[in-house]
Structures are given as C-alpha cells and as structure tokens.
Structure 1
Amino acid sequence: MLRAMTTERGTRRRAPAGAAVLREDVTDAIRAAVFEELAAVGFARMSIEGIARRAGVGKTAVYRRWKSKLALVLDLVAAVAAQGMPAPATGSLHGDVRAVLELAAYALRHPVASQVIPDLLVEAARNPEISEAIKAALLDQQQGVAAVVVREAVARGELPEGSDPDRALDLIVGPLYWRLVVVRGELPKGYLDDLAASAVAALKHV
C-alpha cells in the first residue's frame, strides 16, 4: 500500500508524485465485505463483483489492492493470523486451559467465522496456498499458545517434563472444535468448565 509513512525520526515521508494513495477506510470495507461474502456464498462462488457490490465500491478499487480473490483471501487470513491469540497467564493449568477454551469458543461461535472456517478448510484440501495460510492462521499460533501453557505448567510442577504441547492442543481444543464446527451443536451450561477439567485430568495422566 502506497501511503505517507513515518520515519524513525518522526518526520513524514510523502508518497511519490502521481502514486495512488489507497484509502484505508475503503480497504477496511473491502475486507469486511470478503468475510460477509465468504459466509454468504463460500469461496468457490465468491466473486470480485460480489465483494465490490457488498463493500459499496467499484471493482477497480478491489483490483488496485489485490490481483484476485485468492490473493484477497490469503491476505485476509494472514491478517487474522498476525493478530494471534494471547497466551493466558492465570497462574494455574486449569485456569489457563479454561481461558483458552473461552477464547476459542468465542471465535468459533462468531456467526461469520462459523461459516467461513469450514468453507476455507474444504478449499484448503484442494488448494495448497489456502492450506498453508489456514495452517498459519489456525494451527501455528494455537500451537504457540499451547506451548506456553504446557511450559508454564511444567515449571509449576503441574505437568511432567516432556509433556507434548501438540497433544495438549488436541485434548483442549479438539472436542470444542468437533462440537461447534463439525456437529454445530450448542454448548450446554457448564460445558467449558467440564471440558477444562477433563482436559487437565487427561494431560496429567498422558
């Protein structure tokens, strides 16, 4: 994106004369429209025309920023991945696991995410580029959170040395993903508390 930038000394550097300055509000509107369009029609049926219409802009505004709908979606997934999920620091393994479940449940129950994620996972099976982007957005950053949770639990003596963060991630988030994304069922009252207790018990006896 060509726009005025701030240097380390705090001075403003102007965009080159004649360069197109892309408005951030338009870019944000297009990104929001992509989420909505994905949820409404899926990646296969999504089009630049539909995105532009939903964003209230012309197709040219989209093509100035992204060369194709694939490039647009990959950029969007990368932006989501960059935001990351903060590692909890509650002071106990149960508290950390419960916090991870709370954040994951919130994300998976979002009305747009609940439609977009399954569709992109289907596309990932056919498209290596989408597969890598989804891996970075959904798996890599969650593995990082799981690694922190396990490392801190080991340091507190709650888990044995050599506990596997990948297995911890499977035990913590796997059942939640199954219920919310695959089965698409509601969470009964107390479900996250029970799941946290079960995951902690399983981790301590693996």
Structure 2
Amino acid sequence: MTSSREPAGAAVLQESVTAAITRAMFDQLAEIGYARMTMDAVARRAGVGKAAVYRRWPSKQAMLIDLVGAAVLRNLPEVPDTGSLAGDVRAFLDVIVEQADPRTRRIALDVLVETTRTPELAAALHDVVDRPRRTAAATVLTRAIDRGELPADLDLELGLDVLISPLLLRLLRSTEQVDNVYLTRLTKVIVTGLNAL
C-alpha cells in the first residue's frame, strides 16, 4: 500500500497558507503602514506560525516586494483598442480609477513614502511595480504611433509620464472625487500634451 504523505525534506509551501499571509500583509499595510508592520504581526493575523512566514521570505522587505509585485502582475491595466488615441487614453484612465479603491490608494501612498527613506526598496519596487505598469501603459502610445496619430520618434518615457502622472498624483494626494467630467477634461489635456512632444 502506497502512502499519500508528502515526502520529508524540503517543506512544501501550501498555497492556502501563502494566501492567508498575503491577505494579512495587505491588511496590516492598510491599517498601520509598512514602517510599523512586522513579520510576526503578519503571521499572527494570518493565523500561522512565524516559521511559515520566514520560510517564504527572509525579511519584511522581501515579503513586500514579492507580494506587491505579484499583485501588480495580476492587475496590469489592459486597455481595449478603441481605434483612437483619445479613446485609448480615456479607457486607460478609466481602468486606473477602477483599480484605485481607497484601500489600495492608502497602501500605495504609504509604500511610496517609505521608498523615500529606503533606496533599496525604491529600486526593487521600480522593477516589480513601475516597470511592468509602464510597459503595459506603453501600449496606448505604440498603438497611436502605429495608427499615425503620434510621431514614430515620440519620446516614449516622457509620453508615459504625461499619460500616467497627472491621474496618479491626484489619486494619491487628493480625496476629491475623480468623476466623468474630470476624466473627460484630463483626456483632452493628455492628448494635447502627447501631440506637443
């Protein structure tokens, strides 16, 4: 008779435990912020032993980078091809607003502030957060270039700043509602700015 028991040796990382730790970490980030969060508190909140957390990540920073990076990859903005630059810009802005619930905004602002104090965290999050999101957003610009709406020699990095930064800054720094009127006006400003590059 064969045994169904897992072989001894390297510990098997159960997905349900990882999911519980992930939820606990984001809950802690939203409630008390990165600076006050500890791996032990995350373990307690997840209902697991400290070893379960340390088996997966050697430090709080490693845990944050891994779990935030995974969340970003799961939620990269997919912009439908509307057939025009203005349509794609507006669709992109709509996706960003849909993703930016108050909890996500609170976590993002807290982590952003922490990166100003921790250069290695800033560098790591640039790789797992900024770069993938900018690559996804670049689709808006490359489609417009392919359609002849923007010049082939467009400065893509500056174009991405124009596309992403105004709304992101408002979402992170303001409690004012981002409504349809605002997004319509912002779309026009961004399209005008891109055409001026």
TM band (smaller chain): 0.7 to 0.9
In the TM superposition, residue 87 of structure 1 has moved relative to its aligned partner by 4.7
Out of 12, 32, 47, the residue aligned to residue 21 of structure 1 is 12
Q: Is the 8 A contact 2:81 2:88 kept in 1?
A: yes
Q: Deviations over 1:154-205 (max 9, x none)?
A: 2211112211222222222222112110123221342222211221122123
Is 1:44 equivalent to 2:61 in the alignment?
no
Name the Cα RMSD after superposition: 2.0
Is the CA contact (8 Å cut-off) linking 1:66 and 1:72 kept in structure 2? yes
1:43: Cα distance to partner? 0.8
For 1:43, what is the secondary structure of its paired residue?
coil
Flag the 1:145–1:23 CA change in 2: closer, same or farther, 3 A: closer
| Secondary structure, aligned partner of 2:77 | coil
Where does structure 2 lack aligned partners over 5 or more consecutive residues?
A: none
2:125 is matched with which residue?
A: 134
Question: Greater relative contact order: 1 or 2 (C-alpha under 8 angstroms, separation 6 or more)?
Answer: 2
**Normalising by structure 2, what TM-score?**
0.87
Structure 1: segments with no counterpart, 5+ residues: 1-13
Report % sequence identity.
43
Aligned to 1:101: 93
Q: Which amino acid in 2 is paired with 1:86?
A: E
Mapped partners of 2:157, 2:151: distance in 1:
15
| Partner Cα separation in structure 2 for residue 29 and residue 47 of structure 1 | 15
User: In the TM superposition, what whole-angstrom CA distance separates every residue of 1:7-65 from its partner, at most 9, and x where no partner exists?
Assistant: xxxxxxx9753332121011011011111101111111001222112212222221221
- 1:147 counterpart residue number: 138
| Aligned residue pairs, count | 192
Mapped partners of 1:25, 1:33: distance in 2 = 12
1:203 aligns with 2:189: no
CA distance in 2, matches of 1:184, 1:135: 25
The amino acid of 1:107's aligned partner reads Q
User: TM-score if structure 1 supplies the norm length?
Assistant: 0.83
Cα pair 1:85 1:141 within 8 Å, conserved:
no
